[in-house]
Structure 1
Amino acid sequence: MSKKCIKCGEILPEDASFCPHCTTVQIEKKEIKTPRKWRKKAVIGVAGLAVAAVIGIAFSIYHRPEIYEGGAQITYTDKGKSYKVLLSFSEEGGMTGHAQGERTDTLAEGMNSALPCQLYVLNKDTGELAGEEFSKEVESCKVDTKPSEGSQKMEYVEPVYNESFPNAAYVSDINYVSDSGTNDIQWTLTMKNGDTIFLSTRLTIEKQPAVSYYAEDTPMETTEELNALLASIEEEASADTPVYLHLPAVTYDGDITFGDHVWSISGSKDGDAVTTFTGTVSIKGHDGNYADLSGINFEGKGGIGLDAYCLVLLTDCNFTGWDTAAVAQNGAWVNAMECTFANNTVGLKFNTSMAYGTAPNYVNNTFTDNGTAVCIDSLPGNEVIDFAGSVFSGNDTDIENKADHAVDTAKATFE
């Protein structure tokens, strides 16, 4: 057997390792490649991805949006801090961390009213109020009302920070009528980190049957007749019975006292005649009873026009000629809307250190040519007295705020 030289082509023995003619080595050189390390890198890469995936899953699970639901109170944890979040209709209860899961109120037949449903936040460890800090992490806050079977849906105002309740994070006014029945007040808070908080409280309104008196079928044309009617009401109707009086368009001379009931006292017009009081009208309701007066003139020659010892709501009433047109004595609050106070020494006066009910909105009133239009000697609570739409004209002093109570006149007019 023979082979040829790989270079010069001479015939060589089969086992020749070089060519004697050209001295060329007859073994072909093969390139030796450096071993690749891709397998090791791939293993490391796959392992790294696996670790990253595990870390990612753990991070995702740890920061996954959570749902908190617990009636009128929950404990919420965020960024290492724990908060007690609760609902209350009472400012005192909310500030001290006492949630209110349900409340029952009574309301006179045919009447309407409102309650502020308040959301409070406290640091769970210290018990200190933390509403401002907590609110910075809130994306949205919503309220809804869900009536029970046979009940009417209560109206509500979307929750906001309310200066009248400065310690609450949010407040929603719940409006209801005597036939509202039972509603669940449901709050939903969506946090910026994706968490959701559900809170709920229940409000029940029980209707109080009322008695009504009309001038058409009950004598009340004179002061004597009206006083006789009021005396019979005190004897025959319990203090928790609401009384509706529909007065004729006459003038009542002398002082008149309305006793301890919920009163709805409506005046009337007949040509130029209007229901008018020329003596002091005293309202003596106690322990949550109140009075609603509308369409009445108070015309005096000194003294006090309206002497209130409970919450009194005035609508479309006119006061003129009094030393003090209307005064809230201790335990009382006098609210006026669309009323006129003219030519009084003092128009509206507050002299109370406590009140069973409040109504801070004084909308569309006219205060003209008074010595002092509004005098605040003493007034409880944090409610901001809002005179939106009211006009102050020709008064020596528009508002004398001795108590330094919060007053908003931004939307009032001063002439």
Structure 2
Amino acid sequence: MSKKCVKCGHTLPDDASFCPHCTTVQTEKREIKTPRRWKRAALTVIGILILIAVIGVAVSMYHRPKAYEGGAQIDYVDKDKTYKVLLTFSEGDGVTGHAQGERTDTLAEGLDSALPCQLYVLDQDTGKLAWEEFSKEVESCRVDTKPADGSRKMEYIEPMYNESFPNAAYTSDIYFTSESGTNDIVWTVKMKNSDTISLSTRLTIEKLPAVTYHAEDTSMETTEELQELLDSIDKEVSSGTPVYLYLPAVTYDGDITFGDHTWEINGSTSGDTTTTFTGTVSLKGLNGNYADISGIRFEGSSGTGLDAYCFASASECSFEGWDTAVYAHTGGWVNVTDSTFTDNKIGLKFDTSMSYGSSPNYLNNTFTGNGTAVCIDNLPGNEVIDFAGSTFSGNDTDIENKAGHTINTAKATFE
């Protein structure tokens, strides 16, 4: 077959690409478009931007504040170091890195007490205490108590460094009564880099029913009657049962011994007469039993006024005329507040092998005209003995600290 020229109409071979008569090109012209290199560049730019965004998100995720939540212990990573952060009520456990997720204590009916909840920090790799470097990175540290259903909210003080627990980063005293029940002790530590650490431990207080004796109902007018009552209590009342005594406003001559119970011993006043002991009062509690004494006058001419072999506290009492007015020895400890010591050879004496983690405050006492107001022969532990609000006046020696124990007299008055 043949084809015709697209211009002059002459017959041409099928494969002719131009006309020999008029020289017209027989191939249809097509527009040749220049390649669009900008699309490839745009795709490249978009890919780079996506990569930068992914890297940015990854960096942001890595550096954004982290929340660490655990029970009584977590591992906290800061830069290239890992810290073990834990809660406990025991200094020994804290130093060795053992958290205490819960604790149950018993408390006599009607009484109140406190426990120091402590936060410890150790280097995860070495096991050594690291609270000093950790604390430099802390912005704030708070505590709260959350009572369980049917329990009462426990009071607390905000956490701070406490010289009585020098190995702990922070300590918060938790206050409770026999009715408190169970509370979660919740700690929140905010770091300067905005990380947050949340820890909690649980404290349960079980109430011990008490046996109560009132002067109106029980014969205790004389030393013999009182000692007979105490002897019968030793025989008939379990040593785990707290005993409350409300003594009459009489004078007890001769020595008195309180045996192995938790005691609350309350004096009274009638007119010008106050419950008075003129002989030695010995406290023999064992295995955690203790004594609270209030409103009693100890008036002697020699010997020891209050002789403690266990933990004891005395408030609003007076001690006068003793060789040693209050003596904590062997495994004993006596905490005294709002009391007076007058004309004793030694007012308050420590010569004990036991240390206690609470009640190191000897507040608002008055020491007047004593040979030695306070004598510390032996006293282990780290408790800082604080005499805030106490007055020392006219004593030959105010404080004789043979043991070199840490004391604080910054808020005491010396005249």
Partners of 1:311 and 1:355 within 8 A in 2: no
Partners of 1:282 and 1:306 within 8 A in 2: yes
| Post-superposition CA distance 1:90-143 (Å, at most 9, x none) | 000010000000000000000000000000000000000011111111111111
Which residue does 1:414 correspond to in 2? 414
Which residue does 2:222 correspond to in 1? 222
Which residue does 1:364 correspond to in 2? 364
Which residue does 1:184 correspond to in 2? 184
Partners of 2:115 and 2:358 within 8 A in 1: no
Partners of 2:322 and 2:155 lie apart in 1 by 39
Runs in 1 of length 4+ with deviation above 6 angstroms?
Answer: 37-45
Partners of 2:253 and 2:129 lie apart in 1 by 54
Which residue does 1:200 correspond to in 2? 200
Q: How does 1:226-305 map to 2 (within 5 A)?
A: 226-305=226-305
Which residue does 2:161 correspond to in 1? 161
Q: CA deviation at 1:51?
A: 4.3
Which residue does 1:112 correspond to in 2? 112
| Post-superposition CA distance 1:285-319 (Å, at most 9, x none) | 01111100000000111111110001110000000
| Post-superposition CA distance 1:311-363 (Å, at most 9, x none) | 11000000010000001011111111000001000000000121466410011
Instruction: Note the residue ranges of structure 1 that are not aligned, 5 or more in a row.
Output: 1-36
- 2:326 partner SS: strand
Partners of 1:193 and 1:290 lie apart in 2 by 47
The amino acid of 1:392's aligned partner reads F
Q: CA deviation at 1:54?
A: 3.0
Which residue does 1:77 correspond to in 2? 77
- 1:329 partner SS: strand
Partners of 1:360 and 1:383 within 8 A in 2: yes
The amino acid of 2:130's aligned partner reads A
Partners of 2:274 and 2:194 lie apart in 1 by 61
Partners of 1:151 and 1:180 within 8 A in 2: yes
- 1:106 partner SS: strand
1:92 correspondence with 2:113: no
Which residue does 2:375 correspond to in 1? 375
- 2:129 partner SS: coil
Which residue does 2:213 correspond to in 1? 213
Partners of 1:362 and 1:386 within 8 A in 2: yes
1:63 correspondence with 2:63: yes
- 2:140 partner SS: strand
The amino acid of 2:147's aligned partner reads P
Partners of 1:125 and 1:175 lie apart in 2 by 35
Partners of 2:356 and 2:383 within 8 A in 1: no
Moved more, 134-143 or 272-281: 134-143
Instruction: Note the residue ranges of structure 2 that are not aligned, 5 or more in a row.
Output: 1-36
RMSD between aligned alpha carbons? 1.6
Moved more, 214-223 or 135-144: 135-144
Partners of 2:382 and 2:82 lie apart in 1 by 28
Partners of 1:377 and 1:402 within 8 A in 2: yes
Partners of 1:175 and 1:208 lie apart in 2 by 17
Which residue does 1:137 correspond to in 2? 137
Partners of 1:358 and 1:116 lie apart in 2 by 7
Which residue does 1:22 correspond to in 2? none
Q: CA deviation at 1:197?
A: 1.0
Q: How does 1:322-401 map to 2 (within 5 A)?
A: 322-355=322-355, 358-401=358-401
Partners of 1:332 and 1:356 within 8 A in 2: no
Partners of 2:198 and 2:95 lie apart in 1 by 20
The amino acid of 1:367's aligned partner reads F
- 1:229 partner SS: helix
Q: Percent identity among equivalent residues?
A: 71
Q: CA deviation at 1:55?
A: 2.8
The amino acid of 2:254's aligned partner reads G
Partners of 1:346 and 1:147 lie apart in 2 by 45
Partners of 1:333 and 1:359 within 8 A in 2: no
Q: CA deviation at 1:69?
A: 1.3
Partners of 1:381 and 1:330 lie apart in 2 by 14
| Post-superposition CA distance 1:143-198 (Å, at most 9, x none) | 11111111111111111111110100011111000011111111111111121111
| Post-superposition CA distance 1:6-41 (Å, at most 9, x none) | xxxxxxxxxxxxxxxxxxxxxxxxxxxxxxx99999
- 2:330 partner SS: coil
The amino acid of 1:362's aligned partner reads Y
1:150 correspondence with 2:147: no
| Post-superposition CA distance 1:195-224 (Å, at most 9, x none) | 111111110100000000011010000001
Partners of 1:206 and 1:153 lie apart in 2 by 14
Partners of 1:331 and 1:356 within 8 A in 2: no
